[in-house]
């Protein structure tokens, strides 16, 4: 019986632990690449690099590793039936894909979004002035049409 348990631990469980470690390393490396890429993009756009944005990496790690550890436990329970940790590896692949998409984001698109956001905030702040200007333009246009109609009918 001891030989069976030792063989199981050595052959089967060891493979699970190695694949889980590789999956976890892949997530950590992908997050590191995204972190460095994010800092470089922020420098390019001239944005401040604040502790709030740095903390987003910790929040993201929590979102990635809480489900990952749960799936690792499920994989360890299922290791008798399933020959490798399928759930943890699939979750790791998803996390790495998300980080890949994050790195591939074009910084100019983010810059355009920030510019549009600033424009909208200026418009919202100055809505009374813009409404007054629009009303004045409409009033002047209407007055010009009336003047044109008055001069056109008297000739």
3-state secondary structure of 48: coil
Of 22-26, 83-87, 151-155, give the range with the top mean pLDDT: 22-26
Q: Which tens digit of pLDDT belongs to each residue from 96-154? A: 999 988 888 765 566 666 677 777 777 777 777 777 777 788 888 888 887 777 776 55
Kindly report whether the global pTM for this prediction surpasses the value 0.85: no
Q: What residues contact residue 130 under an 8 Å CB cut-off, 6+ apart?
A: 123
Note whether 35 and 9 are within 8 A (CB): no
Note whether 34 and 96 are within 8 A (CB): no
Q: Which tens digit of pLDDT belongs to each residue from 24-54? A: 999 999 999 988 888 888 887 777 777 777 7
In angstroms, the CA 96 to CA 36 distance is 15
Q: 14-45 vs 107-125: helix axis angle to the nearest 10?
A: 50
- If you write DSSP's letter for every residue of 92-150 in order, what string do you get? HHHHHHHHHHHHHS-HHHHHHHHHHHHHHHHHHHTHHHHHHHHHHHHHHHHHHHHHHHH
């Amino acid at each position: 019986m001891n030989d069976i348990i030792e063989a199981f631990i050595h052959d089967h469980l060891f493979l699970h632990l190695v694949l889980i470690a590789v999956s976890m390393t892949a997530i950590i490396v992908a997050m590191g690449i995204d972190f460095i890429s994010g800092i470089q993009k922020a420098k390019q756009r001239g944005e401040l690099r604040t502790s709030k944005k740095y903390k987003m990496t910790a929040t993201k790690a929590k979102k990635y590793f809480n489900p990952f550890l749960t799936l690792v436990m499920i994989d360890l329970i299922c290791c008798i039936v399933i020959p490798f940790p399928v759930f943890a590896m699939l979750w790791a692949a998803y996390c790495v894909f998300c980080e890949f998409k994050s790195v591939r984001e074009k910084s100019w698109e983010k810059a355009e979004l920030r510019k549009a956001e600033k424009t909208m905030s200026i418009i919202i702040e100055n809505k009374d002035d813009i409404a007054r200007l629009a009303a004045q333009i409409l009033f002047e246009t209407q007055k010009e049409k009336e003047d044109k109609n008055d001069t056109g009918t008297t000739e």
